[in-house]
Amino acid sequence: MSRAMDLIEQSLLTNVLTQIRRSRLQAGFTLLEMLVVLVIIGLLAGLVGPQLLGRVDTSKVIAADTQIRMLKASIETMRLDIGRFPTEEEGLAMLMTPPQDERVARKWRGPYLSENVPLDPWGNPYVYRPVTGTTMTLFSYGADGQLGGEGIDADIGFLPTTETAKKQ
């Protein structure tokens, strides 16, 4: 009987060792499987990547337009308080710091922004110029940082008229 038990134990041990060897052989991925996965990932990145990058440019244009509208509303509020737009020299900084003129400083109720005056999404300052007592230009030069342009390079905001642009 002990001989039969020894044979059963040896048979079980052999079966267990065989299963362990098989599982080790089947545990990894083949080189071919890895290459197929890498090709699929490359195709997805090639198809989706350019579409996402195009949306980044569009979102920058939208962000610039939104910031300009926010800045214009703040300037209009300040104009109601002090009775005039900031001069070109005072610029957008006057939204955060009171003017030097003591008479105007008494009427100033700022700061008119919760944070410093932002740069446009491309890292350039917004262009502000008063035109008359009731009109102004406030814009970003767009992605190219230059006057004019098309698409994402186009100027964004409350742009100067042709007569104003000639004076600049």
Tens of pLDDT, residues 21-36 = 666 556 677 888 888 8
Q: pLDDT by residue (tens digit) across 96-106?
A: 999 988 998 89
User: For position 24, what pLDDT does the model report?
Assistant: 58
- Which CATH number belongs to the domain containing residue 130 in this structure? 3.30.700.10
Greater model confidence, 58 or 117? 117
Going by DSSP bridges, is the β-strand pair 156-158/127-130 parallel, antiparallel, or unpaired? unpaired
Is there a domain that residue 56 lies in?
no
Is there a domain that residue 76 lies in?
yes
Is there a domain that residue 23 lies in?
no
The C-alpha atoms of residue 168 and residue 163 are separated, in whole angstroms, by: 9
Which token pair is 137?
Answer: 């230009």
pLDDT for residue 164 is more than 60: no
Is there a domain that residue 131 lies in?
yes
Q: 157: Cβ–Cβ under 8 A, 6 or more apart, which residues?
A: 64, 65, 68, 126, 137, 138, 139, 140
Is there a domain that residue 2 lies in?
no
pTM score, two decimals? Answer: 0.65
The C-alpha atoms of residue 120 and residue 22 are separated, in whole angstroms, by: 62
Q: How many domains does the chain have?
A: 1
Is there a domain that residue 123 lies in?
yes
Is there a domain that residue 140 lies in?
yes
The C-alpha atoms of residue 92 and residue 130 are separated, in whole angstroms, by: 11
User: For position 46, what pLDDT does the model report?
Assistant: 77
The C-alpha atoms of residue 144 and residue 138 are separated, in whole angstroms, by: 17
Print the domain residue range for 106.
Answer: 62-167
Q: pLDDT by residue (tens digit) across 65-110?
A: 999 999 999 999 999 999 999 999 999 999 999 998 899 889 999 8
